[in-house]
Structure 1
Amino acid sequence: MAVPVFPPQEKGRMLAPSSAMPEQGWQTSGAAGSPQNLRKFKSQDFRELRASCLSQGLLFEDSTFPAHASSIGPSLLPQEKLWRIQWKRPTELQRNPHLITDGVSRFDIMQGEIGDCWMLAALGSLTLRKQFLENVLPKDQGFQEDYAGIFHFRFWQYGEWVDVVIDDRLPFLNGRYLSVHPRTSNEFWPSLLEKAYAK
């Protein structure tokens, strides 16, 4: 069974994945703990927020996880580096960005400036089980159609799926990705997924 991506510790505890959970339990339609029965993290609804941005001609800016040093955390980098971080959208980095290019692979993923090799291992495991990755990375989003600077990802936490909404502003330090990034310059699913996980 593939290792699902779990959110960071909450209040000092982290539950291990249950080895007794059958694979079909991840796909059961409408059941508690299914991708069709989601808890919205911070009560943010992806479709409503995207529709609002599109109707106003705006790119989404997530006030619950702002493009600011406070979203990085004080212990990850020295203070002087925290204030040098720049935030850029994929559309500022590439003329033709994609969420996924030619499918997903563990070879898509590169480590950034921070030491997050554990995240690379988790993402690599997900790419080996496409049915799990499809639960984590919904297909109803991208840069080509209805792009509004907003994305969402799903994480399995304590027996339920949680839908996490983010904006697509990514942190850079000295012109380099701070966190996980794609091997190809125009594919952004690894970077955006890690941002949702961090949130």
Structure 2
Amino acid sequence: MKNMPCLLIIDMQKGMSWPQAGQRNNPNAEQDIAELLAHWRVHHAPIVHVRHLSLEPESLFWPEQDGALFQDVFQPLSHEMVIDKSVPDAFTHSNLAVWLQEKGIKDLVVVGVSTNNSVESTVRTAGNLGFNTYVVQEACFAFAKADFNGYERSADEVHAMSLANLDGEYATVISQDSAFTLLSSAVAQSQ
């Protein structure tokens, strides 16, 4: 597991696929994430599943409600790490950083939802903690949102701005093909 990049899958829960979640971009993100997950599993590379459990009873992600459950295709295997969070950042109030350090993991490949919320928050912390962090642009998605001035922004605009916030400062934004190459290179070096 040492020197292998860890796939960090953020908030791929049933509620994220429901219409109440809002208008989103990257409609093929689930398929892309599932392909990455399958590839990581084939190579026995480390995987962390992050699950948001809200503190608000009205939330889609209130614990033990259907919306908080992992989507079927993203059910963690028994040996895969699961991190529960109640704030956007997966590192806050969790043992994620310690677990990664104990495993000797230096590289993170981050996918999931939503780009401008939990993905961005987690990636900022990962970068600040010194992890080599990669965000797979087509394996993340965002929802439409009004900006601070009240102008409605499409999900594509929100996604693109969030990636721009991260790239080159906290992380490197990459394609799915580049993520496959990153893992293949690590596997080749470990043999």
> Please, what TM-score do these two structures have when normalized by structure 1?
0.24
User: Where is the helix percentage greater, Structure 1 or Structure 2?
Assistant: 2
User: Where is the strand percentage greater, Structure 1 or Structure 2?
Assistant: 2
Indicate the structure (1 or 2) with the bigger Cα radius of gyration. 1
